[in-house]
Amino acid sequence: MIELLEQCVRIPSLSRQEAQVAAFLRDEMQQRGFNHAFIDDAGNAVGILGDGPKQIVMLGHMDTVGGDVPVRYEDGKLFGRGSVDAKGPLCAFILAAQQFTTRNAPMGDWQIIVIGATEEEAASSKGARFAATQYAPAFCIIGEPSGMDGITLGYKGRLLVQARFEQSMRHTAMPGPSVSEQTVDLWNFVKHLSDNFNAGKPKAFDQLMPSLRHIQSGGDGLKEWCDLVIAARLPEGFGPDRLEKEIRAWAAETARQQPPVADAPSLPSSLQSLSFSSAERAFRSSKDSSLARAFVDAIRAEKLRPAFKHKTGTADFNVVGPVWNCPIVAYGPGDSSLDHTPNEHVSIDEFEKAVKVLTHVLTTLTKT
Protein backbone atom coordinates (compact mmCIF):
# COMPACT_ATOMS: atom_id res chain seq x y z
CA MET A 1 0.00 0.00 0.00
CA ILE A 2 2.88 2.37 0.70
CA GLU A 3 3.87 2.43 -2.99
CA LEU A 4 0.98 4.76 -3.84
CA LEU A 5 2.16 7.23 -1.21
CA GLU A 6 5.78 6.94 -2.31
CA GLN A 7 4.89 7.79 -5.91
CA CYS A 8 2.71 10.67 -4.75
CA VAL A 9 5.42 12.08 -2.47
CA ARG A 10 7.96 11.98 -5.29
CA ILE A 11 5.89 14.48 -7.28
CA PRO A 12 6.61 18.08 -6.16
CA SER A 13 3.36 19.91 -5.42
CA LEU A 14 3.84 23.28 -3.79
CA SER A 15 0.68 25.28 -3.28
CA ARG A 16 -0.61 26.60 -6.63
CA GLN A 17 1.64 24.06 -8.39
CA GLU A 18 -0.49 20.94 -7.92
CA ALA A 19 -1.37 20.11 -11.55
CA GLN A 20 1.07 17.21 -11.92
CA VAL A 21 0.12 15.47 -8.69
CA ALA A 22 -3.58 16.07 -9.40
CA ALA A 23 -3.25 14.28 -12.74
CA PHE A 24 -1.40 11.42 -11.04
CA LEU A 25 -4.10 10.97 -8.38
CA ARG A 26 -6.89 11.20 -10.93
CA ASP A 27 -5.27 8.45 -13.02
CA GLU A 28 -4.68 6.30 -9.94
CA MET A 29 -8.32 6.57 -8.90
CA GLN A 30 -9.45 5.66 -12.41
CA GLN A 31 -7.23 2.58 -12.36
CA ARG A 32 -8.45 1.61 -8.89
CA GLY A 33 -12.08 1.32 -9.93
CA PHE A 34 -13.58 4.70 -9.06
CA ASN A 35 -16.73 5.33 -11.09
CA HIS A 36 -15.65 8.85 -11.92
CA ALA A 37 -12.25 10.48 -11.52
CA PHE A 38 -11.55 14.00 -12.72
CA ILE A 39 -9.93 17.35 -12.01
CA ASP A 40 -12.49 20.00 -11.10
CA ASP A 41 -12.53 23.74 -11.72
CA ALA A 42 -10.42 24.46 -8.62
CA GLY A 43 -7.72 21.99 -9.66
CA ASN A 44 -8.84 19.37 -7.13
CA ALA A 45 -8.35 15.69 -7.91
CA VAL A 46 -11.75 14.06 -7.31
CA GLY A 47 -12.74 10.41 -7.29
CA ILE A 48 -16.32 9.17 -6.83
CA LEU A 49 -17.47 5.66 -5.93
CA GLY A 50 -21.14 4.76 -6.08
CA ASP A 51 -24.10 6.87 -7.14
CA GLY A 52 -26.41 6.88 -4.13
CA PRO A 53 -28.01 10.03 -2.73
CA LYS A 54 -26.08 9.97 0.56
CA GLN A 55 -22.50 11.24 0.45
CA ILE A 56 -19.39 10.60 2.49
CA VAL A 57 -16.73 13.17 1.61
CA MET A 58 -13.09 12.36 2.37
CA LEU A 59 -11.27 15.65 1.88
CA GLY A 60 -7.48 15.80 2.00
CA HIS A 61 -5.00 18.20 0.46
CA MET A 62 -2.28 17.41 -2.03
CA ASP A 63 -0.19 20.59 -1.82
CA THR A 64 2.85 20.89 0.42
CA VAL A 65 5.11 23.52 1.88
CA GLY A 66 8.56 23.98 0.40
CA GLY A 67 11.74 22.18 1.33
CA ASP A 68 13.34 19.12 -0.23
CA VAL A 69 13.09 16.07 2.01
CA PRO A 70 14.79 13.24 0.06
CA VAL A 71 12.37 10.36 -0.51
CA ARG A 72 13.71 7.21 1.07
CA TYR A 73 12.84 4.22 3.22
CA GLU A 74 14.61 3.93 6.54
CA ASP A 75 13.81 1.77 9.60
CA GLY A 76 10.30 0.99 8.41
CA LYS A 77 9.50 4.63 7.62
CA LEU A 78 8.90 6.57 4.43
CA PHE A 79 10.58 9.97 4.38
CA GLY A 80 9.54 12.76 2.04
CA ARG A 81 7.77 16.11 1.88
CA GLY A 82 4.04 15.50 2.27
CA SER A 83 4.37 11.99 3.69
CA VAL A 84 2.63 13.32 6.82
CA ASP A 85 1.09 16.63 5.75
CA ALA A 86 -0.97 15.59 4.03
CA LYS A 87 -0.40 13.19 1.13
CA GLY A 88 -0.26 10.35 3.67
CA PRO A 89 -3.86 10.81 4.84
CA LEU A 90 -5.05 11.49 1.27
CA CYS A 91 -3.50 8.32 -0.13
CA ALA A 92 -4.92 6.38 2.82
CA PHE A 93 -8.37 7.71 1.81
CA ILE A 94 -7.97 6.41 -1.73
CA LEU A 95 -6.82 2.98 -0.59
CA ALA A 96 -9.55 2.66 2.04
CA ALA A 97 -12.27 3.62 -0.43
CA GLN A 98 -10.90 1.11 -2.92
CA GLN A 99 -10.76 -1.68 -0.34
CA PHE A 100 -14.22 -0.86 0.96
CA THR A 101 -15.88 -1.06 -2.45
CA THR A 102 -14.01 -4.25 -3.32
CA ARG A 103 -15.53 -5.91 -0.26
CA ASN A 104 -18.92 -4.21 -0.18
CA ALA A 105 -20.19 -3.74 -3.75
CA PRO A 106 -22.86 -2.69 -4.52
CA MET A 107 -22.94 0.43 -2.33
CA GLY A 108 -26.70 0.96 -2.22
CA ASP A 109 -27.69 4.47 -1.14
CA TRP A 110 -24.14 5.68 -0.61
CA GLN A 111 -21.57 7.62 -2.58
CA ILE A 112 -17.96 8.04 -1.44
CA ILE A 113 -16.19 11.15 -2.70
CA VAL A 114 -12.41 11.45 -2.27
CA ILE A 115 -10.99 14.93 -2.86
CA GLY A 116 -7.34 15.95 -3.11
CA ALA A 117 -7.68 19.70 -2.53
CA THR A 118 -5.50 22.57 -3.67
CA GLU A 119 -3.94 25.49 -1.79
CA GLU A 120 -4.47 24.37 1.79
CA GLU A 121 -0.91 25.28 2.69
CA ALA A 122 -1.24 28.65 0.93
CA ALA A 123 -3.90 29.51 3.51
CA SER A 124 -6.33 30.32 0.70
CA SER A 125 -7.97 26.86 0.79
CA LYS A 126 -9.09 27.33 -2.80
CA GLY A 127 -9.88 23.64 -3.26
CA ALA A 128 -11.89 23.24 -0.06
CA ARG A 129 -13.87 26.43 -0.66
CA PHE A 130 -14.87 25.20 -4.10
CA ALA A 131 -15.72 21.71 -2.81
CA ALA A 132 -17.93 23.26 -0.12
CA THR A 133 -20.20 24.55 -2.89
CA GLN A 134 -20.38 21.24 -4.78
CA TYR A 135 -21.35 18.61 -2.23
CA ALA A 136 -23.73 18.06 0.68
CA PRO A 137 -22.30 15.16 2.67
CA ALA A 138 -23.90 13.24 5.48
CA PHE A 139 -20.39 12.69 6.89
CA CYS A 140 -17.01 14.36 6.28
CA ILE A 141 -13.53 13.08 7.07
CA ILE A 142 -10.67 15.59 6.70
CA GLY A 143 -7.26 14.19 5.82
CA GLU A 144 -4.80 15.50 8.37
CA PRO A 145 -2.29 13.61 10.53
CA SER A 146 -3.82 12.53 13.82
CA GLY A 147 -1.87 9.33 14.39
CA MET A 148 -3.47 5.97 13.70
CA ASP A 149 -5.21 6.10 17.10
CA GLY A 150 -6.19 9.79 17.10
CA ILE A 151 -9.50 11.45 16.21
CA THR A 152 -9.29 15.21 15.74
CA LEU A 153 -12.45 17.09 16.73
CA GLY A 154 -11.39 20.72 16.44
CA TYR A 155 -9.00 23.26 14.95
CA LYS A 156 -8.24 26.78 16.02
CA GLY A 157 -8.98 29.81 13.87
CA ARG A 158 -6.44 32.01 12.14
CA LEU A 159 -5.65 35.55 11.07
CA LEU A 160 -2.59 36.91 9.25
CA VAL A 161 -1.63 40.52 9.94
CA GLN A 162 0.66 42.47 7.59
CA ALA A 163 1.97 45.93 8.46
CA ARG A 164 4.46 48.37 6.98
CA PHE A 165 5.93 51.34 8.83
CA GLU A 166 7.73 54.04 6.89
CA GLN A 167 9.14 57.51 7.58
CA SER A 168 11.76 59.97 6.34
CA MET A 169 15.35 59.18 7.21
CA ARG A 170 16.86 61.17 10.05
CA HIS A 171 20.02 61.12 12.10
CA THR A 172 20.06 58.47 14.81
CA ALA A 173 20.81 61.20 17.37
CA MET A 174 17.44 62.81 16.68
CA PRO A 175 14.65 62.11 19.21
CA GLY A 176 11.74 59.88 18.33
CA PRO A 177 11.29 56.17 17.64
CA SER A 178 12.65 54.47 14.54
CA VAL A 179 10.28 52.51 12.30
CA SER A 180 11.77 49.32 13.69
CA GLU A 181 10.86 50.40 17.21
CA GLN A 182 7.34 51.27 16.12
CA THR A 183 6.98 47.87 14.44
CA VAL A 184 8.07 46.19 17.66
CA ASP A 185 5.42 48.24 19.47
CA LEU A 186 2.73 46.59 17.32
CA TRP A 187 4.07 43.13 18.10
CA ASN A 188 4.26 43.96 21.81
CA PHE A 189 0.64 45.14 21.73
CA VAL A 190 -0.56 41.86 20.21
CA LYS A 191 1.57 39.85 22.63
CA HIS A 192 0.22 41.82 25.61
CA LEU A 193 -3.33 41.33 24.33
CA SER A 194 -2.82 37.57 24.13
CA ASP A 195 -1.18 37.36 27.55
CA ASN A 196 -4.17 39.10 29.12
CA PHE A 197 -6.69 36.95 27.26
CA ASN A 198 -4.87 33.73 28.13
CA ALA A 199 -4.74 34.35 31.86
CA GLY A 200 -6.45 31.46 33.59
CA LYS A 201 -6.69 29.39 30.40
CA PRO A 202 -4.24 26.47 30.74
CA LYS A 203 -5.28 24.61 27.57
CA ALA A 204 -3.57 25.64 24.33
CA PHE A 205 -6.80 25.16 22.34
CA ASP A 206 -8.42 27.91 24.44
CA GLN A 207 -5.59 30.42 24.08
CA LEU A 208 -4.89 33.27 21.68
CA MET A 209 -1.52 32.33 20.15
CA PRO A 210 0.28 34.99 18.05
CA SER A 211 3.50 34.20 16.22
CA LEU A 212 5.94 36.74 14.75
CA ARG A 213 6.55 35.23 11.32
CA HIS A 214 8.49 37.98 9.56
CA ILE A 215 10.14 41.30 10.36
CA GLN A 216 12.48 43.14 8.01
CA SER A 217 13.76 46.70 7.91
CA GLY A 218 15.69 48.76 5.40
CA GLY A 219 16.05 52.12 3.75
CA ASP A 220 17.19 53.96 0.63
CA GLY A 221 18.87 56.99 2.18
CA LEU A 222 15.69 59.06 2.02
CA LYS A 223 13.18 56.82 3.75
CA GLU A 224 13.40 53.98 6.24
CA TRP A 225 10.84 51.18 6.41
CA CYS A 226 10.00 48.04 8.36
CA ASP A 227 7.66 45.21 7.39
CA LEU A 228 6.00 42.78 9.79
CA VAL A 229 3.84 39.68 9.50
CA ILE A 230 2.02 38.17 12.47
CA ALA A 231 0.18 34.85 12.30
CA ALA A 232 -2.36 34.43 15.07
CA ARG A 233 -4.11 31.19 16.02
CA LEU A 234 -7.49 32.00 17.45
CA PRO A 235 -9.59 30.15 20.04
CA GLU A 236 -13.34 29.77 20.11
CA GLY A 237 -14.88 33.03 21.27
CA PHE A 238 -12.10 35.16 19.79
CA GLY A 239 -12.78 35.49 16.07
CA PRO A 240 -10.59 37.15 13.44
CA ASP A 241 -12.91 40.16 13.36
CA ARG A 242 -12.22 40.82 17.05
CA LEU A 243 -8.45 40.71 16.62
CA GLU A 244 -8.65 42.99 13.60
CA LYS A 245 -10.78 45.45 15.57
CA GLU A 246 -8.29 45.48 18.46
CA ILE A 247 -5.32 46.11 16.17
CA ARG A 248 -7.10 48.85 14.21
CA ALA A 249 -7.99 50.57 17.49
CA TRP A 250 -4.32 50.42 18.55
CA ALA A 251 -3.28 51.88 15.18
CA ALA A 252 -5.80 54.73 15.51
CA GLU A 253 -4.60 55.57 19.01
CA THR A 254 -0.96 55.42 17.88
CA ALA A 255 -1.74 57.77 15.00
CA ARG A 256 -3.49 60.17 17.37
CA GLN A 257 -0.45 60.33 19.63
CA GLN A 258 2.13 60.80 16.86
CA PRO A 259 2.92 64.16 15.25
CA PRO A 260 2.25 64.48 11.51
CA VAL A 261 4.95 63.20 9.17
CA ALA A 262 6.92 66.26 7.98
CA ASP A 263 6.90 65.47 4.26
CA ALA A 264 3.35 64.05 4.19
CA PRO A 265 0.98 66.04 6.41
CA SER A 266 -1.95 63.90 5.29
CA LEU A 267 -0.39 60.88 7.00
CA PRO A 268 -0.67 61.24 10.77
CA SER A 269 1.37 58.12 11.39
CA SER A 270 4.31 56.22 9.99
CA LEU A 271 2.04 53.18 9.68
CA GLN A 272 1.74 53.14 5.89
CA SER A 273 -0.28 49.97 5.43
CA LEU A 274 -2.18 47.51 7.59
CA SER A 275 -3.95 44.49 6.12
CA PHE A 276 -5.55 41.25 7.29
CA SER A 277 -5.95 37.95 5.43
CA SER A 278 -6.58 34.19 5.70
CA ALA A 279 -9.27 34.69 8.33
CA GLU A 280 -10.84 31.52 9.71
CA ARG A 281 -12.88 30.92 12.85
CA ALA A 282 -12.14 28.08 15.23
CA PHE A 283 -14.39 25.09 14.69
CA ARG A 284 -15.13 22.11 16.90
CA SER A 285 -17.26 18.99 16.34
CA SER A 286 -18.89 16.60 18.79
CA LYS A 287 -17.28 13.44 20.06
CA ASP A 288 -20.78 11.96 20.40
CA SER A 289 -21.56 11.88 16.67
CA SER A 290 -22.06 8.60 14.85
CA LEU A 291 -18.93 9.39 12.84
CA ALA A 292 -16.75 9.83 15.92
CA ARG A 293 -18.18 6.63 17.42
CA ALA A 294 -17.40 4.76 14.19
CA PHE A 295 -13.76 5.82 14.50
CA VAL A 296 -13.63 4.78 18.14
CA ASP A 297 -14.88 1.31 17.23
CA ALA A 298 -12.54 1.00 14.24
CA ILE A 299 -9.46 2.04 16.24
CA ARG A 300 -10.33 -0.40 19.00
CA ALA A 301 -10.72 -3.15 16.38
CA GLU A 302 -7.03 -2.62 15.57
CA LYS A 303 -6.17 -3.18 19.26
CA LEU A 304 -5.42 0.52 19.76
CA ARG A 305 -6.69 3.02 22.30
CA PRO A 306 -8.59 5.90 20.65
CA ALA A 307 -7.76 9.45 21.71
CA PHE A 308 -9.70 12.62 20.92
CA LYS A 309 -7.61 15.61 19.91
CA HIS A 310 -7.99 19.36 19.42
CA LYS A 311 -5.32 20.97 17.26
CA THR A 312 -3.76 24.39 17.67
CA GLY A 313 -3.38 24.74 13.89
CA THR A 314 -5.97 25.47 11.22
CA ALA A 315 -7.12 23.20 8.37
CA ASP A 316 -9.75 22.77 5.67
CA PHE A 317 -11.81 21.45 8.59
CA ASN A 318 -12.50 25.12 9.45
CA VAL A 319 -13.62 25.88 5.89
CA VAL A 320 -16.12 23.11 5.17
CA GLY A 321 -17.28 22.30 8.71
CA PRO A 322 -19.55 25.35 9.18
CA VAL A 323 -20.87 25.06 5.59
CA TRP A 324 -21.76 21.39 5.55
CA ASN A 325 -22.86 21.26 9.19
CA CYS A 326 -22.57 17.48 9.29
CA PRO A 327 -20.59 15.15 11.56
CA ILE A 328 -16.92 15.83 10.81
CA VAL A 329 -13.57 14.64 12.13
CA ALA A 330 -9.99 14.81 10.90
CA TYR A 331 -7.99 11.61 10.68
CA GLY A 332 -4.83 10.32 9.08
CA PRO A 333 -1.56 8.50 9.69
CA GLY A 334 1.45 10.43 10.86
CA ASP A 335 2.75 12.55 13.71
CA SER A 336 1.64 16.15 13.21
CA SER A 337 4.74 17.41 15.05
CA LEU A 338 6.65 16.39 11.90
CA ASP A 339 4.58 18.72 9.68
CA HIS A 340 6.77 21.10 7.64
CA THR A 341 9.98 19.73 9.20
CA PRO A 342 13.19 18.48 7.50
CA ASN A 343 12.53 15.12 9.15
CA GLU A 344 9.00 14.52 7.80
CA HIS A 345 8.22 10.80 7.62
CA VAL A 346 5.48 8.27 8.28
CA SER A 347 5.71 4.75 9.64
CA ILE A 348 4.71 2.16 7.03
CA ASP A 349 2.96 0.09 9.70
CA GLU A 350 1.00 3.11 10.90
CA PHE A 351 -0.01 4.00 7.35
CA GLU A 352 -1.35 0.50 6.71
CA LYS A 353 -3.24 0.40 10.01
CA ALA A 354 -4.81 3.78 9.24
CA VAL A 355 -6.10 2.36 5.95
CA LYS A 356 -7.70 -0.49 7.90
CA VAL A 357 -9.29 1.94 10.36
CA LEU A 358 -10.72 4.02 7.52
CA THR A 359 -12.05 0.94 5.72
CA HIS A 360 -13.77 -0.15 8.92
CA VAL A 361 -15.29 3.32 9.34
CA LEU A 362 -16.69 3.34 5.81
CA THR A 363 -18.21 -0.08 6.39
CA THR A 364 -19.88 1.13 9.61
CA LEU A 365 -21.19 4.40 8.16
CA THR A 366 -22.77 2.82 5.10
CA LYS A 367 -24.79 0.48 7.29
CA THR A 368 -26.60 3.44 8.84
Q: How many residues does the chain have?
A: 368
What is 10-72 written as a DSSP string? TS--BTT--HHHHHHHHHHHHHTT-SEEEE-TTS-EEEEE---SEEEEEEEE--B-S-----E
* Residue 63 among the catalytic residues: yes
CA angle centred on 332, ends 61 and 208, rounded to 5°: 75
267 φ, ψ (degrees, to nearest 5): -105, 105
* Spatial strand order in the sheet of 345-347: 72-74, 77-79, 345-347
The answer to whether the beta carbons of residues 58 and 37 sit under 8 Å apart is no
Q: Which of 28, 85, 120, 350 is catalytic?
A: 120
CA dist., res. 236 & res. 238, Å (int) = 6
User: Which uninterrupted H or E stretch holds 274?
Assistant: strand 271-280
Distance between the two ends of the chain, CA-based, in angstroms? Answer: 28
Q: Produce one character per residue of 7-28: b if its CB has 16 or more CB atoms within 10 Å, e if not.
A: bbbebebebeebeebbebbbeb
Name the active-site residue from 18, 28, 63, 119. Answer: 63
Q: Which sequence positions are flagged as catalytic?
A: 63, 120
